Structure formats: C-alpha cells, structure tokens
Amino acid sequence: MSDSPYDRFDDQLPPLLEIMAREGIQHGVEGLSEMTGQTITVTQPTVSWVPLNQIPNLLGGPENEAVGVYLRAEGEMAG
C-alpha cells in the first residue's frame, strides 16, 4: 500500500489548489498594496505534497522564524 496523497485524492485536486492559492494570494497582494500605497510583486505560487515534518526545511531550516496554519479537513466535500 502506497503512502502517496494521490492515492487518496483524484488528479484534479492539485491544480484546483494551485488556482485557489493563486487567487487568494492575488487578492491579498492587492489589499496590501492599497493599504501601503506601494506596488507589490509576487511570483507564481506552486502547490506540492510534502510530509509535514519537511516543511521547516522548505522554509530555510528549523532555526528560521516562520508562521503557518495547519488545517485538517475530513469527510465529504460539498459543492
């Protein structure tokens, strides 16, 4: 039995998450730009499946300060 997240989700989920991330970041950047009066540029976000314990390494190592939110979702999705 494989531990791949793709065994639990169909192939459409990663592209959907990437679209959601891109739109959410764009809205956030627009609001921050309006509040500060500065032009803000962001790069294209990507979505990757990684083990939870590897996230500190993606952010530069456990000694770097970072803030994150972990939300667990269970059950059927509506909509």
pLDDT for position 44? 74
Whole-angstrom CA distances from 22 to 8, 25, 46, 48 are: 23, 5, 8, 14
Indicate the pTM of the whole model: 0.49
pLDDT for position 8? 58
CB 55 within 8 A of CB 68: yes
Low-confidence ranges of the chain (pLDDT < 70): 1-10, 45-46, 79
pLDDT for position 2? 55
Length of the chain: 79
